[in-house]
Amino acid sequence: MSKLFPKSANKLPFQIIIYLGVLVCVATAGVTYYMTPKYTRVGYAPVQPVPFSHAKHVQEVGLDCRYCHSNVDKSAHSNVPTSQTCMNCHNQIKTTSPLLAPIRESAATGKAVPWVWIHKTPDYAYFNHSIHVNRGISCVECHGKINEMDVVTHMQPLSMAFCLECHRHPEAALRDPKDVFNLDSKRLADQGEAGVKQAKALVDNWKVKPPQSCSGCHR
Amino acid sequence: MKRIFEHPAPSERELNGPKYWRSLDELAATPGFVDQLKREFPQGAAELDGVDRRHFMKIMAASFALGGVGLAGCRRPELNILPFGKSVEGIIPGLPQYYATAMPLRKSAIPLLAETHQGRPTKLEGNPSYLPHGSASSLLAQASILDLYDPDRATAHTKGASVLTSAAVNELLANVGKNYAASQGAGLAFLADQSSSPTRARILKKLRRALPKAIWAEYEPVTDEPPLAAAQAAFGADVKPIYRFAQAKRILSLDADFFHAESGSLYYAREFAKGRRVTKATDPMNRLYVAESAFTLTGSMADHRLRLATSHMLALAAAIGGKALGTDILKPFTEGLEAFVSQKWVDECAQDLVDHKGESLVVAGAHLPPQVHAIAYAINALLGNIGKTIDFVAVEASSAATLSDLAGAVKTGAVKTLVILGGNPVYNAPVDLDWAKLQASVADVIRLGYAADETSALAGTNLASAHYLESWGDARTADGTVVPVQPMILPLFGGITQLEVLARIAGEANPDGYALVSETIAALAGGDAEKAMRRFLHDGLLEGSAFKKVPVSFDQRGAQVLFRDEPKKVEAFSLKNLEVRFVTDHKMDDGRFNNNGWLQECPDPITKISWDNAILVSPKLGKELGIAPQGSALQIARVEENDFSIGKENGRVYELTVGGRKIKGPLHIQPGLSNYTVVVPLGYGRVATGHVGKGAGFNAYPIRTVANQDVATGGTLVDTGTRLLLANTQEHWSMEGRDIVREANFDEYQKNPGYVDDIGTESHSPAIYGAQNTPTNDNKLSREDRAKLNATRAKDIPRGGSMYSTPKFDGQHQWGMSIDLNTCIGCNACVVACQAENNIPIVGKDQVMRGREMHWIRLDRYYSDGKAEGGAFGGEGNREIPEDPQVSLQPVACAQCELAPCEVVCPVNATVHDEEGLNTMAYNRCIGTRYCANNCPYKVRRFNFFDFNLRQLDSLYLGQLGPKGMPELVKMVKNPEVTVRMRGVMEKCTYCVQRIQNGKIQHKVAMAQAGRPGDVVVPDGTIKTACQQVCPVEAIEFGNIDDPTSKVSRAKALEQDYSLLGYLNIRPRTTYLGKLRNPNPKMPDYQALPLSRVEYNSKNHPPSDHGHGAHGHDSHAPAAPKTEKKHSVIDAGKTFGGLS
Amino acid sequence: MAAPSYGLIATFDTTPDLYHAAAKVRDAGYRNWDCITPFPVHGLDKAMGVPRSIVPRISLAGGIIGFCTGMSMIWWTGAVDYQLIVGGKPLFSPMFAFPVSYELTILFTAFATIGGMLFLNGLPMHYHAVLKYEHIRRGMDDQFFIVIETRDPRFNLANTKALLEKAGGKNISELEA
Amino acid sequence: MAHAHHADTATPAILQEVKPASLPRAILVANNRSFSWITEKICGIIEGKTPTWWWVCFALACFVASFTVAGIAYLISTGVGVWGHANPVNWAWDIVNFVFWIGIGHAGTLISAILCLLRQKWRTSINRAAEAMTIFAVVCAAIFPVFHVGRVWYAWYLFPIPNSNAIWQNFRSPLEWDVFAVSTYGTVSVLFWYVGLLPDLAVLRDRFYSSGNKLRSALYGFFALGWRGSNRHWSNYEMAYLILAGISTPLVLSVHTIVSFDFAVSLLPGWHTTIFPPYFVAGAIFSGFGMVLTLMLPLRAVYKLEDLITQYHIDCMCKITLATGTIVGYAYAMEFFIAWYGANPYEGFAFINRAFGHYAWAYWIMISCNVITPQFFWFKAVRENTSFVWILSIFVNVGMWFERFVIIVTSLARDFLPSSWGYYSPSIVEIFTFFGTFGVFSVLFLLFIRFLPIMPMAELKAVTPQADVHGGGAHH
């Protein structure tokens, strides 16, 4: 027999078991990470047809989100501005900038500027901007500090787990209504005792009760 | 970890939007309403492209977006956002907009509100500002939007083989006018369908002044308005009747299907329901007598229904008239009637009418001869109903020539150019005119048609017609109110309208629709034209434009003119001499909706056959034809006369011969028909039609002559020996004596409004809310308290002493629905409204035959004849299909059970409850075990057996090999607020959850912006489900049952409120109001109990014990568990008795 | 011993022979010795003085762990992590959690039992002195061996051999380690 | 004998008269075979040349199995619509076949587990094959619930795997119970079977080594884990084996109980019945033994194993079939009684509909196969006529398939609302997929009898007379 299995053979089974175990762990970990929106989305920063810088327009020019995204508080969609909106200013300044050529062309012909879609929920998930911004949830919660971005980057996973986190503890994410569009403002919950109390009050007075069951987002 | 991605520039198509989209400059030619259009047709397609891709993604969603597998490691497919180029005031991407318009049909239009998403109409609702209809609309109106996106519609103007540009068309039309100007129109003829459009009338006048010699003929294959001749004779005036059913306590219908076939049916159904609905024992309830040959929805509603050949209606009218008016002059017309109607029936019916002077009403079917109408008018006049239950309004007598006249002219060769506007004469003209040949004989035929059809095949020039949702126009409702026809979208294929065609021929200065209409409106309204027009479009109707009421007095001498010729003796029909009745099909109408998938798949409300029509014959005639049930006498195993082999109706194909002309069609044994009347629905068997309509049904027109367009005699039936499978959605017609539709007679209800609680297993099983909370105890409370009780129960889900603490429904609303079986007329409008709202696919005849139709709401139709045999194990049931049944109709959709059996069995939590009591369905979580559907006692869950939204219906079984994807055009009808489901997932009604969510959100947003963020509860009535909104009789109430004052709470608090299969303790949120019948005890066919009730009693309480089940039952309604126990044991004993 | 030796092996032809021999070896007070049999011989444990196996205890532990895993998993997923109203049923009840917990009990017991058995037997061990014995094939078939290991304190080539002979062992030979 | 004498002298005369004649002990291995004979006999099958008939059967089996493969492929690529399912019958052959195969599997475990606990030594000759049958049956069974779902690529939703949707399974659902029950059942059966194989693998290892076939020796050797027949190992081994047997018994009962819950937990008339668990288990044993007979009798004939599978074995199996068959018959009768006594019109109708409705034919096939057929086993003559027994066993299998069909399909086709009543008939795809599974089963079983010892040699030897440590052979 010995010729069949050398002494070393006795270690073999254990080694196999250990290697298999490790392999399985790695595989599972890998899949669970690489298949989540955390991986597939966060950090997505495509090149746009026009290198629009939110940082410049908000921080330097001091525009409010709603100047361009004018329907964010009315509609489910937060609309991307029409070229005309851009031209409101840019027919005075930088009127000849080559970078703005697509805008001018579009404003003239009416053909759309093909902005690349960054923040996108799956088609069976119905997210509504108006209800969130009107009830104390700031843009920054899902979009990150857009106001500081030169190139818009996907900051949050926007996965179901991500949504649920907030829907389960709304008080933690609420802002004072007037701070909603001020992306540098702090959450109430991060404003110490008073803030926490105010958040609680908001939840009670406004009857904030985010849906946690399917019907909230899936139709 | 920041990654930069270079994406390829998007394709041209992406940038320009779908090819159907037309850019603004094409309209530059038509100034005056550019801003008007701006509002509706934003240039650059907005996010429409995005939206369509959304749908595509929705369809694919389940397979990729969530799959993980599809995604592992790599990023989502790169998409673009395409914002408007120029700002468009009024459009908010993501919010639908509503515009007023109307669907014209023959001489009456239905005012509508069209829901558009970025200029893409997706859904139609009734225009609430037109009060006679409320927000209701009809089955056909709901489905008509699908025609807009019909891939088979005409996409170009053609002359012979060549395609005409719109410029060429304009020129061509202009030339017609010019060429015939000299001859004053001699040699020019028009053939149009009926229209109520004031503008068309206006242009027509002009045209005739210009071309006096031109022939203007109108033709409609079916009539839906009473013959003017009758009114002229009876009242010496051009008037038509408008019935006020709400005021009528006693109604006699002579072969009149005023729920569907008569013009104004929507209004009539609504009014009838008002007189039918009872909310308390002291309410009055109308009584409906119907004499008819076919079996119509009106007949199914009747308290006394007389099966009588249409040819005998004159005799019946004469008999009843004679009795009611106390005169003998009509006697000769009744000769021989006694063989078909018992004198008592006539006398008592007439007496009942007489006893209700001023609140009775006699209605005669539009297809009946003037004499019958004259008699009806006479009765109404002399019973003082005029001005109370019936009004007469002035109408213009049509000066148009008939099709026969035109045919005559064509024969003589007098017609050189024939302009055919709409219609489809080659398909539906009376066969003896031989129209096809005549039309072919005309040198130059110009046809304006919506799709390539039989008529266009024989026309040299074919102009593509615009859909009414693409057209400027106007129309009148049945009562004459002028309503706008307003475009929601530019003509997708450059179609033009009748108005434009006529205007161009007439050489109008500004021949475009908007100008023409505004001119008319300006004239009608007076004052500032622009303002008037804007108001008109905003309201969706022209105030006070309805026909004027005119006082009329019955002129007997005048009426006698109609009766001059010798009265015919009532002729007896037989197997050798059948009466053939042609009826307007419930869905195809006269055939114009033939290529509409939603309508084709919607089952006929009575026969339940979809995708086909059938030759309907009475069971008696069936027997005489030798069709008798084979096999076991047991109900459960019996082979139906309508032979259901393995679940598919296996129709025998017969040949129907009338006057030497023959048609072939499958036979369907239909209870409730007059014994020797054969009913053939029109509108099927089109040869030149689209993919959908092709091969559906048989064509009945080839046996229809000028002389007998509505009814023919001397028909015979011969078996061809062949069979045709029919897609019948309801194999089983008997309620099996079960407590499904709970009925009572009006008098029983008055004694015991809570009668529903004495029926069914609950009535003697332990009360589901605990011993003290029996329905009987609940009924002791006041309605308000009961509503409050329901509210608390909805939230706390009491368990009647269960040891478990169970989750409470702590939502801010608790949704519930109440369906009134007493007013539901089973018109099927809800079925299609739901289909339109919820992106429900059609599956095709083959799949329907397999039982895979996808309708979320269906109408169950049961017959009962009271002859079900009882006994243990249910006994033998009804042995034969009844000849003269009572019908019970019941809409069934997901009832959102509080203790939903479907949820418990789903292994992956794909269907769970939300805190507001909705039984939600997360399509993207569903893996399709179908366990939920098995465990649903109502069988309302629908499974996507194939990719119905992604595959062609004819290649479903090819799987991946088959062609993939839907035409963009078809996708455009989809509602962006609802996920399009892929194969392998379960779907069902969720009370239009998208409407609920949007309603809540919009309310909260409004309140937050109004500074009242705490006000989150949506006011009652703001959220309506699609089925509720469309319902003509307002049988469906929906709302928040947490609010005891909401309409639905009040409906549910009624004593006759019951849960279907309540004993299962699943606590459906949708409950039903019991059905009532109001028979006349003096009538010979009086039934002391509704027949379904008789069957229920004979099955559950066989006669062996306490005489009449119902009453015996009331005596010991359960009070406490103890007695219940005893009770149920007794019952078991009884059932045993029944067995032996 | 100079040459590395595993021990002595003796062959027996019938069960009774082995049985009585085993008793003798046991009485002689050896500890590191063993019988090789083609099938479990009843009563031989007693003859060898092998104590009752402790596998059952391991199994029991496995079972308990399995049951707790089931119950706690169902409780946590349904009643703690994501509370969903399903058919109006309680968020957690031992009743509906039972079937799954029950199955997991059995599953874990099975794993523990087999794992335990292999562990106690020091298996898998594909290389072993006994397996090198040229007649081992018969030992899997129809013969019986007794092996006494050199590492046994009482082992003494001469005496042990004598003992085995006395016990009726045939062709007694040394096993190389 | 000596022992017996002693007893005679000890007991008073009166007792001797009432003392029953001591029955002769059943012979488990006939003709007093030696240990090595058993080894030769069983290993011979594996070591010998592959017989032609095996190749023929194997090819045939592979062909039939391909039906299932093709059927499933078409199903996944096209949709569940390719089957005959439709509202209201959303489950049909798929679940019928699942329950059918699971039921088949149960006898295997029962024979090896329960009979082992009951110390029924006669099991030894058949338990190995029976266990193999279990495992292969579970494989066939698992095919159906897995692939009958609409979106099989999401079947992983059924397992509590953490994911970014943060949603879990519904452990109230009998289907979710099934997931755990069936997978546990499969796993434990395989382990049990493998443990039983250990010593025999060791035998093969050594035999192949000495016959010079190093490769196969290494293969068997690897899986033998270095078994060396040490008695210290045997004592742990036997204990473990006993425990596995001990847990397999409740397992097998629970599995079919849970399968029956799929129906009992629902509210459908004809499904919603408390009698289901015991009656399903009885049915499972019934069908299982039917299948064991169907498989073992030909095997016995082909490999001349009359000495190992003796008439006594067949007799025992026939009697068990008879007993369980009668229990099932009783359950059928009881259903009707309760339906009538409960006086619930829906329930009552469901059962009358089974017996006289559109599916009456299926019902009566079921009755005649499951209730009438086994009654033949009352007669010794029948039990001794092997070929007749074999035919009857086939009937049992057919009958049990129809039992599931009757329960599932008739109840669904005619439930609460007559308006939704329908009629189900299978599509060609279903039919082929099902018959293909017999191919799958045969392929696996043929591979088993070719490459693994079809009987546990060690256990067989242990029950021979000469295995007795108290001087071989004497019966007492």
ipTM for the assembly: 0.90
The pairing of beta strand B3-5 with beta strand A44-46? parallel
Written as tens digits, the pLDDT of chain C (177 aa) is 445 788 888 888 888 888 888 888 888 888 888 888 888 888 888 888 888 999 999 999 999 999 999 999 999 999 999 999 998 889 999 999 999 999 999 999 999 999 999 999 888 888 888 888 888 888 888 888 889 888 888 888 888 888 888 888 888 888 887
The model's confidence at residue B861, banded by pLDDT at 50, 70 and 90, is very high
How far is it, in rounded angstroms, from Cα B738 to Cα B1061? 9
Q: What is the pLDDT of residue B35?
A: 39
Helices (H) and strands (E) in chain A, counts: 11, 2
* Distance of residue B764 Cα from the nearest chain C Cα, in angstroms: 24
Boundary-marking domain end, from C95, C121, C147: C121
Chain C residues closer than 8 Å to B901 by CB: 87
**Residue B1062, token pair as written in the block:** 């309540």
Contact B52, B18 (CB under 8 A): yes
* Residues of chain A falling short of pLDDT 50: 1-2
A37 interface with B at CB cutoff 8 Å: no
pLDDT digits (tens, 9 = 90+) for B296-316: 999 999 999 999 999 999 999
Q: What is the mean pLDDT of residues D171-178?
A: 94
- B1128–D357 CB contact, under 8 Å: no
Distances from the Cα of D316 to the Cαs of B625, B712, D113, D319, D389, in angstroms? 62, 79, 16, 5, 12
Amino acid identity of D405? F
Q: What is the mean pLDDT of residues B1058-1069?
A: 91
* Distance of residue D225 Cα from the nearest chain A Cα, in angstroms: 9
- A164–C82 CB contact, under 8 Å: yes
Q: Which of A 140-169 lie inside 8 A of C, CB atoms?
A: 164
Q: What is the pLDDT of residue D10?
A: 47
pLDDT digits (tens, 9 = 90+) for D300-327: 888 777 777 788 888 888 998 999 999 9
* Distance of residue A1 Cα from the nearest chain C Cα, in angstroms: 5
For an interface test with A, the pick among B839, B997, B1003, B1016 (most A C-beta atoms closer than 10 Å) comes out as B997
Q: What is the pLDDT of residue B1077?
A: 94
Contact C66, C106 (CB under 8 A): yes
How far is it, in rounded angstroms, from Cα D285 to Cα D110? 8
Chain D residues closer than 8 Å to A159 by CB: 164-165
Which chains touch C (3+ CB pairs under 8 A)?
Answer: A, B, D
Q: B550 in a domain, yes or no? A: no
C60 and C113 inside one domain? yes
The model's confidence at residue B1106, banded by pLDDT at 50, 70 and 90, is very low
C84 interface with B at CB cutoff 8 Å: yes
What percentage of residues in chain B have a pLDDT greater than 90?
50
List all residues 6 or more positions away from D8 whose beta carbon is below 8 Å from its beta carbon: D16
- Which range has the top average pLDDT, B809-823, B1117-1131, C28-42? B809-823
B732 interface with D at CB cutoff 8 Å: yes
- D226–A10 CB contact, under 8 Å: yes
Q: What is the pLDDT of residue D440?
A: 95
Q: What is the pLDDT of residue C49?
A: 85
Report the DSSP beta bridge partners of residue B473.
B485
Judged against a pLDDT cut of 50, whether residue B479 lies above it is answered with yes
Judged against a pLDDT cut of 60, whether residue B115 lies above it is answered with yes
- C35–D231 CB contact, under 8 Å: yes
Geometric angle at alpha carbon B1012, from B1010 and B1014, rounded to 5°: 150
* Distance of residue B927 Cα from the nearest chain D Cα, in angstroms: 5
pLDDT digits (tens, 9 = 90+) for D422-453: 889 899 999 999 999 999 999 999 999 899 99
How far is it, in rounded angstroms, from Cα D168 to Cα C84? 10
Q: What is the pLDDT of residue B1053?
A: 92
For residue D369, the 8-state DSSP code is I
Of D168, D342, D414, the CB nearest to B636: D414
Q: B281 in a domain, yes or no? A: yes
Name the residue with higher pLDDT: B1121 or D228. D228
Of B812, B978, B1014, the CB nearest to A219: B978
Distances from the Cα of B592 to the Cαs of B30, B586, B595, B743, in angstroms? 31, 12, 8, 38
Judged against a pLDDT cut of 90, whether residue D63 lies above it is answered with yes
Classify residue B373 as left (phi > 0), alpha (psi -120 to 50) or beta: alpha
**Where do runs of H (alpha helix) occur along B361-453?**
370-382, 403-411, 425-428, 435-441
Chain D residues closer than 8 Å to C21 by CB: none
pLDDT digits (tens, 9 = 90+) for D135-170: 999 999 999 999 999 999 999 899 998 888 889 999
B684 and B828 inside one domain? no
Contact D273, C150 (CB under 8 A): no
How far is it, in rounded angstroms, from Cα C45 to Cα C40? 9
Range of the domain at C46: 5-52+126-176
Q: B1107 in a domain, yes or no? A: yes
Q: What is the pLDDT of residue D476?
A: 36
B847 and B926 inside one domain? yes
Judged against a pLDDT cut of 60, whether residue B2 lies above it is answered with no
Structural domain count of chain C: 2
**Residue B135, token pair as written in the block:** 């927000």
List all residues 6 or more positions away from B8 whose beta carbon is below 8 Å from its beta carbon: none
Report the DSSP beta bridge partners of residue B582.
B680
Chain B residues closer than 8 Å to A123 by CB: 54-55, 57-58, 61, 65, 979
Give the residue from chain D lying closest to B1128, CA to CA: D343
Chain C residues closer than 8 Å to D239 by CB: 52-53, 55-56, 117
B755 and B627 inside one domain? no
Query: How many Cβ atoms are within 10 Å of B155's Cβ, its own excluded?
Result: 16
Chain D residues closer than 8 Å to A5 by CB: 218, 221, 226
Boundary-marking domain end, from C121, C144, C159: C121
Q: B1050 in a domain, yes or no? A: yes
Q: What is the pLDDT of residue D254?
A: 92
HSE, CB side, 13 Å, CA atoms: give it for residue D322.
Answer: 15
Task: Report helix, strand or coil for C144.
Answer: strand
pLDDT digits (tens, 9 = 90+) for D100-140: 999 888 878 887 887 777 777 777 777 888 889 899 999 99
**Residue B1042, token pair as written in the block:** 């947490």
The model's confidence at residue B19, banded by pLDDT at 50, 70 and 90, is very low
Closest by CA to D240, choosing from D188, D202, D277, D280, is: D188
Q: B63 in a domain, yes or no? A: no
Residue with tokens 């060396």: D228
Omega of the bond prior to D345 within 30 degrees of 0, cis?
no
Q: What is the pLDDT of residue B60?
A: 30
Contact B852, D150 (CB under 8 A): no
- B94–A77 CB contact, under 8 Å: yes
The CATH number assigned to the domain holding B584 equals: 2.40.40.20
Chain C residues closer than 8 Å to D225 by CB: 118, 123-126
List all residues 6 or more positions away from B790 whose beta carbon is below 8 Å from its beta carbon: B1041, B1044, B1049, B1052, B1053
> How is chain D split into domains, by residue range?
33-156+170-467
Q: B698 in a domain, yes or no? A: yes
C107 interface with D at CB cutoff 8 Å: yes
The model's confidence at residue B639, banded by pLDDT at 50, 70 and 90, is low
For an interface test with C, the pick among B804, B898, B935 (most C C-beta atoms closer than 10 Å) comes out as B804
Give the residue from chain C lying closest to B912, CA to CA: C86
B914 and B1049 inside one domain? yes
C121 interface with D at CB cutoff 8 Å: yes
B1036 and B1107 inside one domain? no
* Fold topology of D33-156+170-467: Formate dehydrogenase/DMSO reductase fold (1.20.1630)
* Distance of residue C12 Cα from the nearest chain A Cα, in angstroms: 21
- Name the burial class of residue D472, with classes exposed (0-12), middle (13-18) and buried (19+) by CB atoms within 10 angstroms of its CB: middle
The model's confidence at residue B1103, banded by pLDDT at 50, 70 and 90, is low
Structural domain count of chain B: 4
Q: What is the pLDDT of residue B378?
A: 92
Q: What is the mean pLDDT of residues B56-71?
A: 30
What percentage of residues in chain D have a pLDDT greater than 70?
92
Contact B889, B824 (CB under 8 A): yes
> How is chain A split into domains, by residue range?
118-216
Closest by CA to B943, choosing from B991, B982, B899, is: B982
Range of the domain at B1117: 1094-1139
C23 interface with D at CB cutoff 8 Å: no
B622 and B661 inside one domain? yes
Report the DSSP beta bridge partners of residue B102.
B111
Q: How far is CA B275 from the centre of its chain?
A: 21
Chain C residues closer than 8 Å to A9 by CB: 126-127
For residue B817, the 8-state DSSP code is E
Judged against a pLDDT cut of 80, whether residue D30 lies above it is answered with no
Name the residue with higher pLDDT: D470 or B195. B195
Closest by CA to B993, choosing from B806, B798, B811, B820, is: B811
What percentage of residues in chain D have a pLDDT greater than 90?
48
**Residue B250, token pair as written in the block:** 């006693």
Phi first, then psi, for residue A120 (nearest 5°) are -135, 125
Judged against a pLDDT cut of 50, whether residue B16 lies above it is answered with no
The model's confidence at residue D57, banded by pLDDT at 50, 70 and 90, is very high
Judged against a pLDDT cut of 50, whether residue B572 lies above it is answered with yes
Judged against a pLDDT cut of 90, whether residue D405 lies above it is answered with yes
Which chains touch D (3+ CB pairs under 8 A)?
Answer: A, B, C
Mean per-residue pLDDT over chain D, rounded = 86
Amino acid identity of C34? D
List all residues 6 or more positions away from B103 whose beta carbon is below 8 Å from its beta carbon: B109, B110, B112, B124, B140, B141, B144, B468
B867 and B825 inside one domain? yes
For residue A57, the 8-state DSSP code is I
